Amino acid sequence: MKIYQIGISEEIEEDFWNTEVDDDKKLFTIQLMKYYLEFQRLLHLLRLFVAEEMYRNLTDKKSVHLDFIPECDESLIDEALEEKWILLEIL
């Protein structure tokens, strides 16, 4: 599991993570991860609006959703590679 800095002082962080892992640390880490995941779920809702606002500010267009969808360039498709991926999926 990766350890992320959560904005506490370096001394407290060093004391917490550099000592042996006990049940309290495990529970703290589990609870912190729950809060982090919930925060990500909430942030996901805002990202849609933020992305839309950024697109409007960068272009003269009304919405990213009303913009064109890029066309596929068939010449860039590697058939041999696709067959290899199909074989990997079967395994």
3-state secondary structure of 3: coil
Give the separation between CA 75 and CA 78, rounded to whole angstroms: 8
The one-letter amino acid code at 6 reads I
Mean pLDDT of the chain: 80
Give the separation between CA 2 and CA 37, rounded to whole angstroms: 14
Residue 1 pLDDT: 47
Spatial contact of 61 and 67, defined as CB atoms under 8 Å apart: yes
Give the separation between CA 69 and CA 83, rounded to whole angstroms: 26
The pLDDT tens digits for 12-39 are 566 666 667 778 888 888 898 899 888 8
The pLDDT tens digits for 64-77 are 888 877 888 999 99
